[in-house]
Amino acid sequence: MAKDDRPQIYLISPPAFDPDPFAEVLSRLLDRVAVACIRLAPAGQDADLIGRMADAVRGVAHERDVAVVIDSHIHLVARHGLDGLHLPDGSRQVRAARKELGADAIVGAFCGASQHDGMAAGEAGADYVAFGPVGTSPLGSGVLAGRELFAWWSEVIEVPVVAEGALTPALVADLAPVTDFFGIGAEIWSAEDPVAALVALTAPMG
């Protein structure tokens, strides 16, 4: 993506949801807002439930030509017809995931605020690198991925970059010129109307 283009939305699912009602909400959202990719980010280890969540999201997304990646569960990618894998622990497993999933799968890596880890993930074959959180959150280490990291990355590195974590409209406006994607999830799912919340949050993108 050219750096002066509008960033795209990379939607992150809630950690837990009832597949059928969520599919209805997701359908409304995708029909209203252009989304480039969805990350299924399930909590827990209930393979049957996660599989049903994956099937529900894939069905809605693929009807609209939206790619779906799943967080961590590499063996569910092929089983549920997903497009790839998101790795939450940086560059360490990128090469192995690429080898197992093949060249056509999407492999992405979350690298916190580490420029070094992001570069290593890109060199190992990641299709995108995510940095965050970009906003203040009580979760995690408290280390923020600052605008300077995204500005440097957008100038020097060709691998697409995702800004995520505690986004606000002000942060969206500030980071829009230096990121390819906004990873949005927790910011909208607790709202009474997640679709309206997403529209409001991304309005500063233009």
Tens digit of each residue's pLDDT (9 = 90 or more) over 92-102: 999 999 999 99
Q: What H or E segment, with its residue span, contains residue 168? A: none
pLDDT top residue among 5 and 159: 159
Is the pLDDT score of 4 beyond 90? no
Is the pLDDT score of 3 beyond 70? no
Mean pLDDT, range 1-30, rounded to an integer: 89
Query: What confidence score (pLDDT) does residue 84 get?
Result: 98
pLDDT tens digits, 31-79: 999 999 999 999 999 999 999 999 999 999 999 999 999 999 999 999 9
Query: What confidence score (pLDDT) does residue 2 get?
Result: 38
Domains and CATH numbers, the chain: 8-205 (3.20.20.70)
Residue with token string 């990618």? 77
- Per the prediction, the chain carries an average pLDDT of 95
Query: What confidence score (pLDDT) does residue 142 get?
Result: 82
Mean pLDDT, range 106-119, rounded to an integer: 97
Helices 19-32 and 194-202, packing angle to 10 deg: 40
3-state SS class at 27: helix
Alpha carbon 15 to its chain's center: 13
Q: How many residues does the chain have?
A: 206
User: For residue 5, what pLDDT band results from cuts at 50, 70 and 90?
Assistant: confident
Integer Cα distance of 59 and 2 in angstroms: 30
Query: What confidence score (pLDDT) does residue 42 get?
Result: 96
pLDDT tens digits, 162-199: 999 999 999 999 999 999 999 999 999 999 999 999 99
